[in-house]
Amino acid sequence: IHAHKDDLGHGGDSDSLRNGNSGRRIGCCVIGEATVHKQHKY
């Protein structure tokens, strides 16, 4: 998560092409999907 909205490279300068002028990072995380397994009782 960055401080500003990404301009998708349309800002007209080299930083726009490099990082979208989105500013500093303010947070990060891993997004994934877990598979649920049912436990069998014997």
Listed residue (34, 33, 15) closest to 2, CA to CA:
15
Tokens standing for residue 11: 């800002």
Q: Identify the pLDDT of residue 6.
A: 95
Low-confidence ranges of the chain (pLDDT < 70): none
Complete DSSP assignment for 1-42: -BSS---TT-SSSHHHHHHTT--SB--------PPP-PPPP-
Q: Identify the pLDDT of residue 2.
A: 92
Q: Identify the pLDDT of residue 31.
A: 86
Q: Identify the pLDDT of residue 34.
A: 83
Q: Identify the pLDDT of residue 16.
A: 94
